[in-house]
Amino acid sequence: MTYVYRFGGGVSDGGKGDKNLLGGKGANLAEMASIGLPVPPGFTISTAMCTRYYEDGEQFPQDLREEVAAGIAHIESVTEKRFGDAQNPLLVSVRSGARVSMPGMMDTVLNLGLNDETVEGLAKKAGDERFAWDSYRRFIQMYADVVLELDHGAFEESLEIAKEDNGFTLDTEMTAEDWKKLVTVYKGLVEEQWGKPFPQDVQDQLWGAVGAVFGSWQSERAKVYRRLNDIPADWGTAVNVQAMVFGNMGDTSATGVAFTRDPSKGDRAYYGEFLINAQGEDVVAGIRTPQYLTKAAREEANAKPASMEEAMPEVYAELAAVFDQLETHYRDMQDIEFTVEQAKLWMLQTRSGKRTAKAALKIAVDMANEGLITREEAIARVDPAALDQLLHPTLDPNAKRDVLTKGLPASPGAASGKVVFDADAAERAAAAGEAVILVRVETSPEDIHGMHAAKGILTARGGMTSHAAVVARGMGRPCVSGAGSLSIDNKAKVMRVAGREVREGDILTLDGSTGEVMLGEVATVQPELAGDFGTLMAWADEVRRLKVRANAETPLDCQTARDFGAEGVGLCRTEHMFFDQARITAVRQMILAADEAGRRAALDKLLPEQRADFTAIFEVMAGLPVTVRLLDPPLHEFLPQQEAEFAEVATAAGVDVDTLKRRANELHEFNPMLGHRGCRLGVTYPEIYEIQARAIFEAALDVAEKSGEAPIPEVMIPLVATRRELELMKAVVDKAAQAVFAERGKTVEYLVGTMIELPRAALKAGEIAEVGEFFSFGTNDLTQTTLGVSRDDAARFLSTYVEKGIYAKDPFVSLDVDGVGELVSLAAERGRATRPGIKLGICGEHGGDPASIAFCEQVGLDYVSASPYRVPIARLAAAQAALKAR
Ligand code: PEP
Ligand code: MG
């Protein structure tokens, strides 16, 4: 047969490898049948038919009708019942089943094959009139809803009226006669709404249901679900037609759902619920409270009603054996549906169970230790991005949330605290021991101290690589950015959102992993880093090729990064050091100086400060490479922005207000991102880079002397476009090194290299590598300059671009492999051609993104560098990439 695949009764036309053709449910039913598990017989109409059905203008071809007849004959012969037979009727279920599960999106019809005659036969055969008529009314109700698409409210209402008239509260109080009467009412409703009587021909019923399942593939909710989950429309759904088994045939019957291990904690314990004398949808619908599966779970929950283990010990033992068999067979935790019909167990579904990050980790490590899977498989089983959930305190999933709005999930983790609207207030409150949430329209480098002091950061503007997002991730502070519906009034110290007001001092909670902003405090739970986490990380380290470094610029960040397993610093941004209160005045004096002599005088004040910064970092990173990037941002960022500040700053810097304003005006740029920044600063004011380089080498020698172990400084020049720029800057750095080495009579090993952040640099990488000893891909700027999209303004429209499929993902989050990626691989190739073995890394935000890391493995970079909290994610992603490449 071409479109129909049978299973059950010793036949399996398909198996678990046929998911694309049979859908997940169909493939696993065939597989379970093939390994001898009790599966009600049935057949699957393949997804290829769904595609053809739409191609043919929603028609069923004749050959399908013949194949389905053969499928029904198969079920009839196994069950020894006849479809549509008045004495011995076969009833079937008709269910959808796509390649991947689409929970609640698709349609199901149960008890199909009942009509005015077969209902009598069913009653006689089962010896239970009530059961037969209950099944018939359920069937009419479901069919009317799913296939005929009639208003189901009217059906529910009639049931309520019937119960009321009888003075009943529960469905179980309804007698056979009551159901019979309701069936008459239901048939009347169908005729009234549909204009035709309820179909009595079982073949009409069947084809109506098959058409409805195919039709549900194009329903609005299925389309939306597919869009959200990247499921192609041409996959189609399969249809499973299967003999009904009844969990509602009295007290020796039951239905349930189970996981072979705990899907939330990962413990090795069967986990699930069941209901005696019920059909599947009763468990899902929550009409009756389900009972526990195991005695242990019931006792732990202090619940009364007997567990399945206690109520049906024999069937339970059989079920437990099936759980073990399925887990061994599939080598993964399974999510299972079963039915017990008069003490006989039937399996209705199995699939790999969804689980939390914590459970994924525990299950992977346990299964490898049990010998069920290899360590490599364990590594591949855990989604690196999900580790995020484990590294930060998270919101207690059981706590109540009053959600005000949602922004971008810019930096994961949860935080609660009092609202403050400026960085100084944040610092003051934190010094007084208060937890605060810093709320800003957007943040700038001047807010760093407040961001550090705050427990969490909320901004109304900015995308995933905005200042707030990058800095917050680096600090491990939860951050929600770009919450566009916020309106912030800094003067009145109030923010408004969704018609509500939040004032300074009110408590907010942020969930940086979802972007949710909540009013009031929500309880959190702390992460656990030892145990399974440590074990899996150690396994990952054994297989990865890529080294993992951290983007870090404070000793604390460096320590966090080392604790998380970083093998060096891939990017130490130096500009944040310049904003420190103690030295901002000297920085401003340098900027305001009229000539080189004035600048040097100011820089001399900065030298010891800068040396102390590097010494502290090098001490933490001793023995490891530390890439220090020389000053990058435009100088005007260091000057005051607000009129009110000018007088104070002018006095502190020793100039008059007019001079200050004139200089600020001179430095003003229309497009600072493409302006006087990066190595352009070093080209115009070489003394700035010279002093920074001197501070680096002095600090390296100091640490080497003190601890006996030197760091390996890698001095990095930002925003280089041409060979000549790098040549000039390298000369400045080398000269500073020679001077320091001569003064001290000692040397340290060091490298001078460049960031590749501009398309020109990528194209001319061959020439640039004649000078540069390493490349680090600054993919934040490289994305911005290649796409011509400002990283600070992208949030406003990029989501629309992603929705419309112009970019598959936000290119500032996950590398645009086709475009920016081509420049990266081209630069790597040209760089290597000039300087074989040139050290290559990435330090843009993409260095912590698993998909981008997979690309870095392909291109053969030497390392990726990510913010400290993403180091473990990068380690696991690098291991997975290495395994894939094998
Ligand atoms: C980059 O551009 O990718 C980079 C790492 O530098 P920054 O984010 O500081 O511009
Ligand atoms: Mg950059």
Q: Could you identify the atom of ligand 1 that is nearest to the CA of residue 551?
A: 5
- Indicate the pLDDT class of residue 105, thresholds 50, 70 and 90: low
Instruction: Please report which confidence band the pLDDT of residue 370 belongs to, taking 50, 70 and 90 as the band edges.
Output: very high
Is 865's C-beta closer than 6 angstroms to any atom of ligand 1? no
Integer distance in angstroms from the first to the last C-alpha of the chain?
39
**Segment 473-479 mean pLDDT:** 78
Q: State how far Cα 383 lies from the chain centre.
A: 9
Ligand 1 in reach of 844 Cβ (< 6 A): yes
Q: What are phi and psi of 41, to 5 degrees?
A: -65, 155
Give the architecture-level CATH label for domain 254-352. Answer: 2-Layer Sandwich (3.30)
C-alpha 240: how far from its chain's center? 31
Q: Tell me which residue of 698, 743, 692 sits closest to 715, measured CA to CA.
A: 692
- Note the pLDDT tens digit of each residue in 287-302: 567 789 999 989 987 8
**CB contact at 8 A, 585 and 655:** no
Ligand 1 lined by 779 (C-beta under 6 Å): yes
Binning pLDDT at 50, 70 and 90, where does residue 232 land? confident
Whether residue 476 is predicted with pLDDT greater than 80 in this model: the reply is no
Q: Residue 547: is its pLDDT beyond 60?
A: yes
Smallest-distance ligand from the CA of 631: 1
Residue 356 has pLDDT above 90, yes or no: no
How large a percentage of the chain has pLDDT more than 70? 98
The CA dihedral of 441, 446, 449, 450, to the nearest 10 degrees, is: -20
Q: Is the CB of residue 780 below 6 angstroms from any atom belonging to ligand 1? A: yes
pLDDT of residue 465: 61
Q: Whose atoms come closest to the Cα of 466: which ligand?
A: 1
Rounded CA-CA distance 578/566 in Å is: 25
Q: Is 381 left (phi over 0), alpha (psi -120 to 50) or beta?
A: alpha
Query: What's the CATH architecture for 48-243?
Result: 2-Layer Sandwich (3.30)
Q: What is the pLDDT of residues 496-535, one digit of tens each?
A: 998 899 999 999 999 988 899 999 999 887 676 778 999 9
Under 8 Å CB-to-CB from 770, ≥6 apart: which residues?
723, 834, 835
Tell which atom from ligand 1 comes closest to the C-alpha of 718.
6
Residue type, 591: I
Give me the pLDDT at residue 210, please. 95
pLDDT of amino acid 175: 94
Q: How confident is the model at residue 627 (pLDDT cuts 50, 70, 90)?
A: very high
CA of 630 to the centre of ligand 1 (A): 12
Residues sharing a CB contact under 8 Å with residue 708, sequence separation 6 or more, in sequence order? none
Q: Does residue 828 contact residue 860 with C-beta atoms inside 8 Å? A: yes
Lowest mean pLDDT among 283-297, 366-380, 386-400, 738-752: 283-297
| pLDDT for position 447 | 84
Superfamily of domain 392-525: Phosphohistidine domain (3.50.30.10)
Q: Whose C-alpha lies nearest to ligand 1, atom 6? A: 778
Query: For residue 857, how far is its CA from the centre of ligand 2 (angstroms)?
Result: 22
Higher-confidence residue of 386 and 450: namely 450
Convert 321-352 to b/e letters by CB count within 10 Å (16 or more is b): ebbeebbeebebbbbbbbbbbeeebbbbbbbe
> Which residues sit with Cβ closer than 5 angstroms to ligand 2, an ion?
757, 778, 781
Looking at the CA of 574, which ligand is closest? 1
Residue 634 exposed, middle or buried by CB count within 10 Å (0-12, 13-18, 19+): buried
Instruction: Give Cα 561 to chain centroid, integer Å.
Output: 22
* pLDDT tens, position by position, 44-80: 999 999 999 999 999 999 999 999 999 999 999 999 9
CATH superfamily to which 757-886 belongs: Phosphoenolpyruvate-binding domains (3.20.20.60)
Average pLDDT over every residue of 551-558:
93
How far apart are the C-alpha atoms of 524 and 435, rounded to whole Å? Answer: 14
Q: Is 575 in the pocket of ligand 1 (CB under 6 A)?
A: no
The closest-lying atom of ligand 1 relative to the alpha carbon of residue 779 is 3
Asked whether the predicted pLDDT for residue 250 surpasses 90, the reply is no
Q: Per residue, what are the HEC states of 252-263?
A: CCEEEEEECCCC
Confidence of residue 703 (pLDDT cuts 50, 70, 90): very high
Q: For residue 80, with 0-12 CB atoms within 10 Å meaning exposed, 13-18 middle and 19 or more buried, which class applies?
A: exposed
Cβ of residue 781 lying under 6 Å from some atom of ligand 1: yes
816 lines ligand 1 (CB under 6 A): no
Given this model, what pLDDT does residue 287 score? Answer: 54
Where are the chain's structural domains? Answer: 48-243, 254-352, 392-525, 757-886
Q: Which residues are catalytic?
A: 467, 843
Q: Given a cut of 70, is residue 283 above it in pLDDT?
A: no
